[in-house]
Structure 1
Amino acid sequence: MSSTSKPSSSENIVAQKFDRCLADLIVKSGVGFSAGVIASVILFRRRAWPVALGTGFGAGMAYADCDRSFNPARIPGTRIIPASELKKDGSS
């Protein structure tokens, strides 16, 4: 790769975030599905609800991570400072 990188357009940034979210959804839902199958076979006498519950937990975790990726203001402890306050503080 070259040392001078071209700035990414906002469309490319959104596309990369969406791709990461989709990959995260597939991985976490798959892990939840696998854990549900294992729990179903070992603990719950081959019932279907552990599989659905595990898949739902995985999808929910992926959704929460994707929401934080697209809206960083929702991260607990994050404070958004308006640009007008930055200009006042920077001039003194």
Structure 2
Amino acid sequence: MSQKPTSSENIVNQKYDRCLADLLVKTGVGFSIGVVASVIAFRRRAWPVAFTTGIGSGIAWADCDRLFNPTRGPGVRIVSQAQTPESK
């Protein structure tokens, strides 16, 4: 049984769906950690909630950026064939 090739539009849609789900989960976890930290350690101040929610959103943004641009990761360098030394 042969499978149909996946269209590029479906691949992009899957990536966007993954990014949105990742954003919701990580922002929610950051919000939850901030609420707990605010109640336990910071006498019900608002800044821990905002701070940890922002951290969760930032991590999700970075993961989505790596999903769409895998060559932009740390330690990845693209070298063209003109720059590579020839082996003998």
Asked if Structure 1 and Structure 2 have the same fold, meaning a TM-score greater than 0.5 normalized by the shorter chain, the answer is: yes
The residue number in structure 2 matching 1:11 is 9
The Cα of 1:44 is off from its aligned counterpart by 0.3
State the number of aligned residues: 84
Q: Which string of whole-angstrom CA distances, capped at 9 and with x for unpartnered residues, describes residues 9-48 of structure 1?
A: 1111110000000000000000000000000000000001
The residue number in structure 2 matching 1:75 is 73
Letter in 1 for 2:14: Q
The residue number in structure 2 matching 1:46 is 44
- Unpaired segments ≥5 residues, structure 1: 86-92
- In structure 2, relative to structure 1, the CA distance for the partners of 1:81 and 1:9 (3 Å cut) is farther
Q: Please report the RMSD computed on the Cα atoms of aligned residues, expressed in angstroms.
A: 2.0
The Cα of 1:6 is off from its aligned counterpart by 1.2
- Which ranges of 4 or more aligned residues in structure 1 deviate by more than 4 Å? none
Question: SS at 1:77's partner residue?
Answer: coil
Letter in 2 for 1:34: S
The Cα of 1:81 is off from its aligned counterpart by 4.6
- TM superposition score normalised by structure 2: 0.86
> How far apart in 1 are the matches of 2:49 and 2:2?
48
Identity %: 70
- Unpaired segments ≥5 residues, structure 2: 82-88
